[in-house]
Amino acid sequence: MYLTGEEEAILSGERGEAVAKLMKLLVTLGELYEADRMLKVSSVHVSGVSYKNIGMPGLSLLEDLASQGAKAQAWVRATLNPSGMDLEKWRLMSVSENFAEKQLQVYEAFKRMGISEGLTCTPYEDGNRPSLGENVAWAESSAIAYANSILGARTNRESGITALASAITGRTPNYGFHLEENRKPTLLVKVEAQLENALDFGGLGYLVGLNHGNAVPYFRGVKAGGLEEFKALGSAMACSGAVALYHVEDLTPEAGKFKEELKGLEKVKVSRETLKRVFERFPKEGKGFDCVFLGCPHCSLEKLKRIAEMVEGKQVKGRLWLCTSRRVYSEALRLGLVNVLEEAGALVLRDTCLVVAPLKEMEVETVLTDSFKAAHYLAGSLEASLANTNECVEAALEGELNRDEA
């Protein structure tokens, strides 16, 4: 693999041993995938921020890198994935002092490396929004799918450590989805079902990911979709499978140039009946929930407005937790939405997501959510049920889920 003089210098230790090791990691990765060279990246999103996920080994690694002077490149827009708690409201989440102490140490290590922004799974709503064709290095599966598919940026499915290495070196190997030929669709999905809300988009994504792994799907028959719908579609495909890029006919930026590439592709049809079956993976038994959780991926401003309209002047029964990014939270606070939501008894959180929070010590055992991604990951440790956003909010207000199964 060709390296520039600057890259060779980094590899030989000119910026210190820690940075040399991170460059070596990226070079080894590039050689494994037969990359011809390194690419300069303009944007990085780093996962592995929750202490619940990385534990003491991860914290020790981050502190070692920080103490050795590893620093993100100034030209790289670098953001962090959610931590295990809201850095200010963690006591309201019933997070223990011990966990909070460790989580704050994780964040401090990242800050010392020059990465302190974000703490969100939706960096594209928090100032880190690459443009069409831009080479970036993102971790966080749902954000990767959004960046590749909706923004048309180019990233592979990075891990937390490779994304961190890219932030510090400013490089990523030129392979995978950085190459035009790998962005072509490999599966044609004919959508016959009418998609009525974001949960339906999530169901479609979950089904495709489950059955087709790391395909590059091309969706035909999706009539419309916005921010929440495409967040749901991509995040579900990325968790049930490993989909990092998809195209939607007439709606996503690269779909048009691949219309001639569809001949001979494997074809699948998705009917309403097919879609219904995927919902059955998350049974609706039980009326009460320890927590109604919305914001996986993080809530947009529009979603918070919609929820605020539903709860204004009312009072929730039990816990209604809403997770969002710092930037969206600030705007929601300015507009008075946070006050409306919290007066109704909701808890509006930044910096975190229930999926990466220490749920056992928070005494959360049953969750109702509008997110296939959240249900998928939470189901491993507790009871998770699915309903659309309106049904979730009504359940929080009523204290139980009343759902029309038809």
Bridge-based pairing state of the strands 247-248 and 217-220: parallel
* One-letter amino acid for residue 345 of the chain: G
Burial class (CB in 10 A: 0-12, 13-18, 19+), 294: buried
Identical fold between 5-180 and 291-398: yes
SS3 of residue 206 by DSSP: helix
Domain ranges of the chain: 5-180, 184-279, 291-398
Give the contacts of 13 (CB within 8 A, at least 6 positions apart). Answer: 20
pLDDT of residue 402: 66
pLDDT of residue 401: 76
- Give the mean pLDDT per block of 10 residues along the chain (406 residues): 97 96 98 98 98 98 97 97 98 97 99 97 97 98 99 98 99 99 98 97 98 97 96 98 98 95 95 94 75 98 98 96 98 98 98 95 92 95 93 92 56
Distance (Å, rounded) from C-alpha 130 to C-alpha 152?
8
pLDDT of residue 245: 99
Q: For 291-398, CATH number? A: 3.30.499.10
* One-letter amino acid for residue 158 of the chain: E
Burial class (CB in 10 A: 0-12, 13-18, 19+), 57: exposed
pLDDT of residue 400: 80
Q: CA neighbours within 13 Å on the CB side: how many for 337?
A: 24
77, 217, 363 from 124: Cα distances, Å: 11, 22, 32
Query: Cis link prior to 283 (omega < 30° from 0)?
Result: no
Distance (Å, rounded) from C-alpha 218 to C-alpha 222?
10
CA dihedral 163, 165, 168, 173 (to 10 degrees): -80
| 25-33: Cβ within 8 A, 24+ apart | 25/161, 25/162, 25/165, 26/162, 26/165, 26/166, 26/169, 26/171, 26/172, 26/173, 27/1, 27/3, 27/173, 29/162, 29/173, 30/1, 30/173, 30/174, 30/175, 31/1, 33/173, 33/175, 33/176
> Tokens 């979730």 — which residue?
392
pTM for the predicted model, two decimal places: 0.96
CATH class of domain segment(s) 5-180: alpha beta
